[in-house]
Amino acid sequence: MHIENQERVIRPARNVCGTLRLPGDKSISHRYGMLAGFAQGTSRFTNFSTGEDCASTLACMEALGAEVRRLEDGTLEVTGVGGRVKPAGVPLDCGNSGSTMRMMAGLLAAQEGSFTLVGDASLSRRPMERIRKPLELMGARLTLTEGHAPLHLEGGALKAINYTTPVPSAQVKTCVLLAGLQTAGTTTVREAVRTRDHSELALRAFGARLTRTVDSVSIAGSQVLHAIDAIVPGDISSAAFFLCAAALFPGSELMLDSIGLNPTRATLLDVLTALGVHISVLNLEEKNSELVGTVQVSAPQEGLGSTAIGGALAAQLIDELPVLAAIGPYTNGGIRIRDARELRVKESDRIALVVKNLRAMGAEVIEFEDGVDVPGGQTLHGAMIDSGGDHRIAMAFSVAALRAEGETLIHGAESAAISFPEFFDLLDLVSER
């Protein structure tokens, strides 16, 4: 059940220490849930994401005929429809989840029947033209409302295409691949900036054949997916809040077990290292083609340096930019972010909210259309934070609040549950006061 308008008080901390194991990666869980619901047989997952977004994906797959069971030991069992969904008869509710809507559209475009995808107010403001374009090139019939959800699809046989994504987006790439999986011929997606490749790895794990080059991925049509058993790695984008919290306190000691370290997702570790944070990765292993390891961090005595993020890095770090901006004032040299215009069309306008909330805490910050400049060496005070109902804004400013003077009140704190319901409890657990 979604509770609205919860507030959360965050008091300053003296240090951040401890060992945590985090719930499963949201991006991987979406893909495992969707592919398992579509495949033949029963898949079993441990450490599946506990977030509301992945629950939206599972609920949509159930409405399309998949069976979803949560066992007492926490295992998630999904029995798939064997490649043919049943028309839902009711609109499929994607909640707050752009991944659900965009990826599901590709899966359903090649299925017989009519499908309507709806979302909450935030999702209904987000751009959907980016999936209409390639799906129409494949021959799909898709109706949007002024470029937004509700999205209506008349599914049916499609034709293979060769498509270059105009904006770096793993969701758009996946949308085309899932349509291509069911389409005669070979569908190719080319991208200028390599985005997260969980779909490619997950499709292979479910038995599909894909070929990849440096900047493209091709999938042959008419392939059957087979159920898998998998452990979902801990979510590195959730870990980001704890890594950044630990980065703020010289003498911190934080260990995060079994975190997903897929190279298309782990750029944050390089950025934190460049800022001077001591990071070690232990027990690195591969599970269902995804890299998993334990991450150990401690902050430098001399404080954090400075960094500039732009170009391909901005796309690879897109979900971590709000928390990096939020810790910017506490660095010695500041954080500069550019080429991140996509932040304006996430669950909220994340650039606008980062600027508004940093200023509320007394920070100096300069706003750009595609980023921010956050000077370093600043002292912040507690404030009322407007999360805008955006999980990553609520969590980013809870981290900034740990080093502020006085208490901070996070409005819309419940939004953290979109990706990370356990966030506030775990933050309490590792914050020393």
Site for ligand S3P in 326-345 (CB under 6 A): none
Binding segment (CB under 6 A) for ligand S3P, from list 164-172, 265-273, 294-302, 423-431 = 164-172
Binding segment (CB under 6 A) for ligand S3P, from list 44-52, 169-177, 323-331, 357-365 = 169-177
372 Cα distance to chain centroid: 21
Q: In angstroms, rounded to a whole number, what is the distance separating the alpha carbons of residues 275 and 213?
A: 32
Using CB under 6 A as the binding rule, whether residue 99 contacts ligand S3P is answered as yes
159 Cα distance to chain centroid: 30
Smallest distance, ligand S3P to C-beta of residue 134, A: 13
Using CB under 6 A as the binding rule, whether residue 171 contacts ligand S3P is answered as yes
Using CB under 6 A as the binding rule, whether residue 170 contacts ligand S3P is answered as yes
Of residues 382 and 388, the one with the C-beta less far from ligand S3P: 388
Using CB under 6 A as the binding rule, whether residue 96 contacts ligand S3P is answered as no
Using CB under 6 A as the binding rule, whether residue 262 contacts ligand S3P is answered as no
Contact assessment for residue 239 and residue 295, using Cβ atoms and an 8 Å cutoff: yes
Q: In angstroms, rounded to a whole number, what is the distance separating the alpha carbons of residues 377 and 363?
A: 10
Residue 335: strand pairing partners: 307, 374
Using CB under 6 A as the binding rule, whether residue 27 contacts ligand S3P is answered as yes
Of residues 30 and 132, the one with the C-beta less far from ligand S3P: 30
Smallest distance, ligand S3P to C-beta of residue 25, A: 9
Using CB under 6 A as the binding rule, whether residue 319 contacts ligand S3P is answered as yes
Of residues 8 and 265, the one with the C-beta less far from ligand S3P: 265
Residue of 53, 235, 319, 386 marked active site: 319
Q: Is 428 a catalytic residue?
A: no
- In the list 56, 79, 96, 169, the residue contacting ligand S3P (rule: CB under 6 A) is 169
The C-alpha R_g of the chain, in whole angstroms, comes to 21
Amino acid at 77: E
Question: CB 384: neighbour CB atoms within 10 A?
Answer: 12
Q: How far is CA 277 from CA 17, 21, 105, 306, 433, in A?
A: 14, 20, 41, 11, 22
Of residues 317 and 361, the one with the C-beta less far from ligand S3P: 317
Number of residues that bind ligand S3P (CB under 6 A): 10
Characterize 29-56 residue by residue with b for buried, 16 or more Cβ atoms within 10 angstroms of its Cβ, and e for exposed.
bbbbbbbbbbbbeebbbebbbbbbbbbb
Using CB under 6 A as the binding rule, whether residue 197 contacts ligand S3P is answered as no
Contact assessment for residue 12 and residue 400, using Cβ atoms and an 8 Å cutoff: no
Contact assessment for residue 355 and residue 367, using Cβ atoms and an 8 Å cutoff: yes
Which residues bind to ligand S3P, rule: CB under 6 A? 27, 30, 98-99, 169-171, 196, 318-319
Active-site residue list: 319
